[in-house]
Amino acid sequence: MRTFFVALVAVTAWADVGFIEPSENAMRGAFASDLRQGVRQVLAYVKETNGEEAVRRIREARTDTFGLRGFRKVECRPSEGKPGHVCDFAVAVDTVAGPIEKSIAGRFYIGSGGLAYDHDA
If one counts the domains in the chain, the total is 1
pTM metric for this prediction:
0.80
pLDDT of residue 86: 97
Tell me the pLDDT tens digit for each residue of 59-94: 999 999 999 999 999 999 999 999 999 999 999 999
Asked if residue 99 lies in contact with residue 93, where contact means CB atoms within 8 angstroms, the answer is: yes
Nearest to 45 by CA among 62, 28, 60, 64: 64
Tell me the pLDDT tens digit for each residue of 8-52: 344 444 444 456 899 999 999 999 999 999 999 999 999 999 999
Nearest to 59 by CA among 38, 85, 40, 84: 40
pLDDT of residue 120: 84
Domain that holds residue 107: 2-118
User: What residues are paired with 33 via a beta bridge?
Assistant: none
